[in-house]
Amino acid sequence: MRLLVVSLILLTLSACSMNEMMVRASMPMLEGGIHAMNQETDLDLAEAAIPANLKMLEGMIQLDPDNATLHTYAAQGYYGLAYGFNEDTRPLRAARFYIRGMKHGFTALRLLGMSDAASLSQDKLEAELKKLDKDDVAALFWTASNWAKWVDINRDKPEGIIALPKTTALMRRVLELDETFYYGGAHMYFGVYYGARAPMFGGDFKKAEQHFNRAREINDNNLLIVDVLQAQYLERQRFDKKKFNQLLTRVENAPDDLDPDMALMNQIAKRKARTLLTRESSWF
C-alpha cells in the first residue's frame, strides 16, 4: 500500500512536471505569435484571431497555472481585445474583458510575490510595490492598464473612484522602474490622468502635455495612439478644437508602414481617430 501511494504521488508529480515542460518549451512560439500579431495591419483578421489565441493561452495556463509570464500575456491580450475592438462599440463587453485581464494581472503579481492588490489598503499597496523590480514591470503595467480602463468605464460608481489611486500607484511604480516599457506606456497613462480632469479636480494640463511629449520621445513619434489619447482627453478637456483636429488628422493621414512593430496599434489608432473626428462638432 505504501509503495502504491508513493507511485501515485510520483506519477502525479511527473505529469505536472511534464505539463510545465511542454508549456515552457512552447513559450518561444507563443512570443513569436504575439510579435506577429503586433505587426498585423488588417483589423478584421486581428479581431478574428485574438479570441482563439487567448483561449489557447488559457489552455496553457491550465497546464502551468503558476506561470506568471502566461498570466501577464493573458492580461495584455484581454486589454488589446477590449480596447482595440470592443470599447467604442460594446463598452459593457469591453468591461468584462478588462475584468478578465485584471484577474490574470493580479494572479501574475501574486506569483511574483505581491499580496492581492485589490484588497490592500493604499498604504500597504505602496509598501508592497516597493518589493517589485524591473523584471516585474510587464505584470504591473498590464494589470494597471486593465484596471484603469475598468475604472474609466465605471467612473461614476464608488468602486471605480476608490480604485483609481491604486491603479495610479501601480503605474507610478512602472514609471520608476522603466519609463520606456511599451513605448512609454506609463507616460501615456499619466497624460490621460492629468489631462482628463479640470485643474480644480486634480488635473494638470501642463503635466499632461509633458507626459504625452515624453511618450513621443520614447517611441520616436511612431505610436499614433499617443496623439489619439491627447486629443481625446487633454485637448477635449481644454477645449482646443484646432489641436484636437490637428492631432487626429495627423493620425488619419499617417502611412500604414510608419513602424511595422506597432502596426496593429497604429491601425487601431487610425480607426479611433476617425470615430473621434465624427464627434468633433458636438464637443466644440
159 located within any domain: yes
- Asked whether residue 239 is domain-assigned, the answer is yes
All cell numbers assigned to 178: 522603466
Give domain status of residue 34, yes or no.
Answer: no
What CATH number has the domain bearing residue 73?
1.25.40.920
Residues 134, 173, single domain; the answer is: yes
User: 92: buried, middle or exposed (CB in 10 Å: 19+, 13-18, 0-12)?
Assistant: exposed
- Report the pLDDT value the prediction gives residue 11, as an integer from 0 to 100: 44
pLDDT at 133 over 80: yes
Do both 152 and 141 map to the same domain?
yes
Mean pLDDT of the chain: 91
Same-domain pairing of 164 and 207? no
**Does 16 reside within a domain?**
no
Q: Binning pLDDT at 50, 70 and 90, where does residue 147 land?
A: very high
Residues of the chain above pLDDT 90, percent = 79
End residue of a domain, out of 178, 198, 214: 178
Distances (CA, A) of 87 to 33, 149, 272: 24, 9, 10
In a domain? residue 187 = yes
Identify the domain boundary among 159, 178, 197.
178
Looking at residue 1, what is its pLDDT? 54
Q: How confident is the model at residue 156 (pLDDT cuts 50, 70, 90)?
A: confident
CA atoms within 13 A of residue 127's CA, in its CB half-sphere: 6
Q: Render pLDDT for 24-74 as a digit per residue (tens, 0 to 9).
A: 777 777 788 889 999 999 999 999 999 999 999 999 999 899 999 999 999
Instruction: Looking at the structure, tell me whether residues 226 and 242 fall in a common domain.
Output: yes
Domain membership of residue 264 as a residue range: 179-276
Q: 24 versus 81: which is more confidently predicted?
A: 81
Asked whether the beta carbons of 143 and 102 are under 8 A apart, the reply is yes
pTM score, two decimals? 0.91
Q: Are residues 192 and 246 in the same domain?
A: yes
Considering its fold, how many domains does the chain have in total? 2
Contact residues for 107 (Cβ-Cβ < 8 A; gap 6+): 68, 71
Residue 88: inside a domain, yes or no?
Answer: yes
